[in-house]
Amino acid sequence: MIVMKFGGSSVADAERLRHVAGIIQSQLQRRPLVVLSAMGDTTDHLLEAGDEAFRQGNVSIEQVEKHHLAVMRKLKLPTGVQKEIKPLLQELHRLLSGIALIRELTPRTRDQLVSFGERLSVRIAAACFSSLGINARAFDAWDVGFLSNSNFTSAELLEESWEKIPEKIIPLIKAGIVPVVTGFIAQDDKGNITTLGRGGSDLSATMIAAACQAEEAQVWKDVDGILTSDPRIVEQAKPVEAVTYEEAAELAYFGAQVLHPRAMQPCMKTGTPVLVKNSYNIAAPGTRIIPSLDKKSLPVRAITTRRNVTLIDIVSSRMMGQHGFLAEVFSAFARHNLSIDMVATSEVSVSLTLDSDSDLSALKKELAKVASVDIKTGKAIVTIIGNVKRSSEILARAFRTCQLLGITVQMISQGASKVNISFIVNDNEAADVIKALHLDFFTGGKESA
Ligand code: ASP
Ligand code: MG
């Protein structure tokens, strides 16, 4: 068995759906299960419709309705499907009317609202695949064992799902059915619809693959895989052939928007390989995410940057060795709802970074009582994801590159996972640093290998 997940842009319209049917057909002998996102930008459109109902009291499902009905017409689907789609659209209309009436949009309602995207897409897709000869059948996640907590908008799957999912799915696969399952959504123990966070259908797919001990999870996107860098900055950026789960997870957190950050977790537990492929470019080999790489691989997998960052240096005004200083600093950040990205400490000081859009005035006042606080805006984080065992080589080469460019590194941190080495430079230097590092580690690295 394999799991094939297709993202929104891979199933955006009638033509893309037929194309996806072809991809599934080519691997039918591997007994696929298909996980789908909402079509195109449907999730955004639903959220916009919810906002409009909430703020203006307007109920408009036109955009969503029109698109889905048009796709069905183009695919010339049998009228039976209409019977499944129409009631969903009516239910969506009722929900928006409710929001407009009481002018309330709670996280719980928001999850219910966006769930329609995936529920519509699997039904239309399954009908399309069936009409092309695939024995496909649509399923909502809760009918195949997806149980989550009630943390609406970013729910976590419960342990029970590990048993429930294979219990439901294996018999379907054995019966020769190609299940087409909604990504992104689940249900809590009270029967409320929940979602796993934006981009969460990746996690749905890896969860099914891991729980059912599938051969692999294929995640079909609209890019050639995980890239060595941001192609808008580095022209030579190219897909990475293989990365470890840890590296992929770090990359997801650090802005490489390829996979949902939590998507690695289930497959990491079971060692199930994840393959990132491009549905717009089937011939491209894609990126393989696996437990470990062979020794001959390059030291660095990818280089990314996070722009527009603020660096805060906090120096204790109390005696050295005083305990509780860090606790005080971090609890002040927590009280002001400020999320810290990078941290580096010494005996008497701590440096940390945040995204620049945070308002720091109240925090500064509070911390000033126990420390001197220096806030520097206009910084960027440069992150190198690479082989744990070669961190000394990576650090040496990275700092040599910065030295050659005449750029001062202002803070460094090697994440607890050790696959991530991050440092701070001025925002206007970040592009040059990334380009030079890419040249050294990828172009240069290849020549010397
Ligand atoms: N449709 C959801 C989103 O756009 C989930 C997903 O695509 O993975 O975030
Ligand atoms: Mg989407």
Residue 161 lies in a domain: yes
Q: Going edge to edge, which strands form the sheet with 287-290?
A: 136-139, 178-182, 32-36, 2-6, 216-221, 274-278, 287-290, 242-244
Question: Which of 37, 206, 279 to mutate to test ligand 1, by most ligand atoms within 8 A of the CB atom?
Answer: 37
Indicate the number of domains in the chain: 2
Query: Does a structural domain hold residue 8?
Result: yes
pLDDT-based confidence at 448, cuts 50/70/90?
A: very low
**What was the pLDDT predicted at 335?**
93
In a domain, 226, yes or no: no
Query: Token digits for 252?
Result: 């997801």
* Overall average pLDDT of the 1-29 stretch: 97
- Interatomic CA distance for residues 386 and 365, integer angstroms: 39
* Ligand 1 atom showing the smallest separation from residue 204 Cα: 8
Check residue 251 and give its pLDDT.
80
Choosing from 221, 240, 263, the residue where a domain stops is 221
Does residue 186 belong to any structural domain of this protein?
yes
Ligand number nearest to the C-alpha of 12: 2
Q: Are residues 328 and 206 in the same domain?
A: no
Shared domain for 206 and 304, answered yes or no, is no
| 311 and 205 in a common domain | no
Residue 321 pLDDT exceeds 80: no
CB distance 257 to 230 below 8 Å: no
250 domain residue, yes or no? no
Q: Are residues 144 and 16 in the same domain?
A: yes
- Residues 6+ positions from 127 with CB-CB distance below 8 Å: 72, 75, 77, 78, 80, 81, 138
What does the pLDDT read at residue 211?
98
CATH number at residue 417: 3.30.2130.10
Phi, psi of 259 (to 5 degrees): -130, 150
Q: How far is the first Cα of the chain from the last one, in angstroms, to the nearest whole number?
A: 37
Confirm whether 228 is domain-assigned: no
Task: Pick the closest to residue 238 from 223, 254, 248 (CA basis).
Answer: 223
Among 179, 200, 221, where does a domain finish? 221
Q: How does residue 356 score in pLDDT terms, banded at 50, 70 and 90?
A: confident
Which residue owns the Cα nearest ligand 1 atom 8? 199
317 in any annotated domain: yes
Considering the domain boundaries, does residue 203 fall inside one? Answer: yes
3-class SS of residue 35: strand
H or E, element range at 180: strand 178-182
Structure tokens at 388: 């744990």
The pLDDT assigned to 447 comes to 39
Distance CA 343, CA 348 (A): 14
Q: CA angle, 258 as apex, 257 and 263 as ends, to 5°?
A: 105
Residues with CB under 6 A from ligand 1: 7-8, 37-38, 43, 117, 183-184, 198-201
CA neighbours closer than 13 Å in the CB half-sphere of residue 185: 30
* Residue to mutate (ligand 1; options 35, 114, 121, 219; most atoms within 8 A of CB): 114
316 shares a domain with 415: yes
Distance 218 CA to ligand 1 centre (A): 16
Pick from 160, 191, 221: which residue ends a domain?
A: 221
The pLDDT of residue 8 is 96
Same domain, 177 and 317: no
61 and 168, same domain (yes or no): yes
The CATH number covering residue 93 comes to 3.40.1160.10
Statement to judge: residues 191 and 327 lie in one domain: no
**Rounded (10°) CA dihedral 286, 290, 293, 299:** 60
Residues above pLDDT 90, as percent of the chain: 79
Q: Does one domain contain both 82 and 199? A: yes
Domain containing residue 423: 300-444
Which is the closest atom of ligand 1 to the Cα of 201?
8
Percent of the chain with pLDDT over 70: 96
Tell me the average pLDDT of the chain. Answer: 93
Question: Average pLDDT of 390-398?
Answer: 92
pLDDT at 444 over 80: no
